[in-house]
Amino acid sequence: MFKRFLASAALAIAVMSSQAAAADPQKFGNEAKAKGFCKAGNVVWFNPTSKIYFAQGSQFYGKTKDGGFTCKAFADKNGYRPTKGN
């Protein structure tokens, strides 16, 4: 019975991990690659910890530790929201 519990717990952790990884938008290696793929003016910097994205010219654009460049549409689709400030 304990082995069955451990197996189900391991499966639950694996499912949650795969769902968390799927929640991040497509990440580009650098801003130039993102600009080449996204429509003009639609590149944003996303922060997976806070689930916020920053437009070009904002204070944290390209500066958060675990962020990345993506298209605004990808960020919106994955539940990220725009920053309220700079």
Residue 37 within any structural domain of the chain: yes
- Residue 9 counted as domain residue: no
8 is a domain residue: no
How much is the mean pLDDT over the chain?
80
Please tell me the predicted confidence (pLDDT) of residue 3.
Answer: 52
Contact 82, 57 (CB under 8 A): no
Residue 20 lies in a domain: no
Q: Does the residue 11 lie in any domain?
A: no
Q: Which two tokens stand for residue 5?
A: 């519990």
pLDDT at residue 29, rounded to an integer: 87
Give the integer Cα–Cα distance in Å for 49 and 54: 13
Domain count, the chain: 1
pTM: 0.70
Compute CA distances 50 → 14, 18, 21, 73, 84, whole Å.
Answer: 22, 19, 15, 18, 12
* Domain interval for residue 53: 25-86
Residue 4 lies in a domain: no
